[in-house]
Amino acid sequence: MNAIATTATRAPVLVVDDHPIVLQGCRRVLEDAGVEAIAEATNIVAAYRLFHRIRPAVVISDLTFQGSGLAGLTLIRRMRAVEPKTRVLVFSMHNDPVIVSRALEAGALGYVLKDHASMELFEAFERVRAGEVYLDRRLATEVAMLRADPRRTPESQMTPRERQILTRLAQGKSYSAIAADLSVSYKTVTNACSQMRQKLGVRTLAELIHVAVTQAQRQG
């Protein structure tokens, strides 16, 4: 599939995802919602260029892209900076309330998990298209609890696996060494580090290692 595909010069909806099956599923849901002109992009660069060209009313986007981590958050911020009226619906596998909260802070109006039924995506799209916020009850509750309780810091929201990886980063271990230690793939480690950077609000591996070392010193 090409990086960019569109059925019209100016499409009201842009779908951004690097999985062809997901794009097909989204297209079916949108067609059921009466949307005829649909634009698609399979990577962040193509999505941003296409967004500039067609200025869609609604964007449905994943957060994670191969080789780019949670680059979807940056894409949302950039699109909203260009066109604040753009309505963004996140369609993602990530159910971590910290990541959901960051997506909303970046400018998304709705958030739907990929393992939910297509009818939920349909409902979320209709709500977001109307300018309403959409979160399922569980996600809404978890995000509200996260924001209401100052003790629930990003660090406290890390998974056990992320804490294991952070500890080994503090010890100066490489991604490959960490993967071997934990009997996981190299990709699992890199993806976890990308998510931790988003949760902790740091941009680079060096900054993430600094956080890891600082936490280790406090615990020591």
In order, the DSSP letters of 167-187 are: HHHHTT--HHHHHHHHT--HH
Domain boundaries, the chain: 4-148, 155-219
3-state secondary structure 99-146: HHHHHHHHCCCEEEECCCCHHHHHHHHHHHHCCCCEECHHHHHHHHHH
* DSSP 8-state code for residue 156: G
Query: How far is the CA of 33 from the CAs of 118, 124, 126, 154, in angstroms?
Result: 12, 11, 8, 37
CATH of 4-148, one of 2.60.40.420, 3.40.50.300, 3.40.50.2300, 3.40.1790.10: 3.40.50.2300
Structure confidence at residue 7 (pLDDT): 39
Q: Return the biggest CA–CA distance within the chain.
A: 60
Distance, in Å, from the CA atom of 157 to the CA atom of 14, rounded to the nearest integer, reads 32
Distance of CA 151 to the CA centre of its chain: 24
Q: Look-up: residue for tokens 């992320």?
A: 162
Structure confidence at residue 216 (pLDDT): 66
The answer to whether the predicted template modeling score (pTM) of the entire model surpasses 0.85 is no
Q: Do domains 4-148 and 155-219 have the same CATH topology?
A: no
Structure confidence at residue 34 (pLDDT): 87
Structure confidence at residue 139 (pLDDT): 83
- Residue 90 corresponds to which tokens in the numbers above? 């996140």
Structure confidence at residue 207 (pLDDT): 73
Distance, in Å, from the CA atom of 87 to the CA atom of 13, rounded to the nearest integer, reads 10
Domain 155-219 = CATH 3.30.360.10: no
- Pick out the chain residues at pLDDT < 70: 1-11, 67-68, 146-157, 215-220
- Residue 127 corresponds to which tokens in the numbers above? 């709500």
Distance, in Å, from the CA atom of 168 to the CA atom of 4, rounded to the nearest integer, reads 40
Distance, in Å, from the CA atom of 112 to the CA atom of 93, rounded to the nearest integer, reads 8
